[in-house]
């Protein structure tokens, strides 16, 4: 934006407007939008990469259900390039979050090998909680049973699954495309 040269003073305050990184779980869910649940991930670096992917794709929050000690959580935050400074990241029980999200009007969409819908064939607009499972055990049966739909990123090759961050990046990009 061009400023005139008529002695206009520069603005006194410049602020970034967007997600509140300190928003509580209740505030995130009442605002609505797109959030991610990492259910059962085990490796701090993978968790950090997925937090970073969620942040750059415009997610409103990330919820992490995993068993990490203090040092492992710090490693996950480091691997996220400190993305938690720009959006809320909460460590929470996944089943509890799914219940709270449903009560707040979110659709629950799980990303699992057992799904039969491609991400680009799923509506990822509105209030959506996207769930991605851990590297070893995937998403728990209780969360899968509570899901409104289960999507699957197509695969070909001899190794039967992607690394945790790869399908999340694909679905994040598709969600960003649909929501733009």
One pLDDT digit (tens) per residue for the chain, 180 residues: 444 455 677 666 655 567 899 999 999 999 999 999 999 999 999 999 999 999 999 999 999 999 899 999 999 999 999 898 999 999 999 999 999 999 999 999 999 988 999 999 999 999 999 999 988 889 999 999 999 999 999 988 888 778 888 999 999 999 999 999
Residue 43 lies inside a defined structural domain of this protein: yes
Q: Say what the pTM is.
A: 0.88
- Domain hosting residue 128, numbered range: 25-153+162-179
The answer to whether the CB of 80 falls within 8 A of the CB of 54 is: no
∠ CA 136-46-51 to the nearest 5 degrees?
Answer: 125
| 37 within domain boundaries | yes
Let me know if residue 3 belongs to a domain. Answer: no
CATH of the domain at 85: 3.40.1280.10
Distances (CA, A) of 143 to 74, 118, 135, 151: 27, 19, 16, 14
In whole angstroms, what separates CA 107 from the centre of its chain? Answer: 14
Examine residue 19 and state whether it is found in any structural domain, yes or no.
no
8, part of any domain: no
Asked if residue 16 is part of any domain, the answer here is: no
* 15 inside domain: no
Structurally, how many domains does the chain consist of? 1
Quick one: tokens of 174?
């598709």
Whether 167 maps to a domain, the answer reads yes
């Amino acid at each position: 934006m061009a400023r005139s040269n008529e002695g206009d003073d520069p603005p006194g305050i410049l602020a970034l407007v967007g997600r509140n990184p300190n928003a509580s779980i209740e505030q995130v869910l009442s605002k609505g939008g797109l959030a991610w649940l990492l259910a059962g991930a085990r490796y701090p670096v993978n968790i950090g990469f997925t937090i970073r992917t969620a942040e750059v794709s415009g997610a409103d929050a990330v919820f992490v259900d995993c068993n990490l000690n203090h040092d492992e959580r710090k490693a996950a935050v480091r691997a996220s390039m400190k993305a938690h400074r720009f959006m809320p990241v909460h460590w929470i029980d996944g089943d509890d979050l799914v219940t709270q999200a449903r009560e707040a009007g979110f659709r629950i969409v799980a990303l699992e090998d057992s799904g039969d819908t491609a991400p680009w064939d799923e509506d990822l607009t509105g209030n959506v909680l996207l769930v991605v499972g851990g590297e070893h055990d995937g998403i728990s049966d209780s969360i899968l049973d509570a899901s409104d739909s289960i999507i699957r990123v197509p695969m070909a090759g001899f190794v039967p699954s992607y690394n945790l961050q790869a399908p999340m990046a694909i679905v994040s990009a598709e969600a960003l495309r649909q929501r733009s």
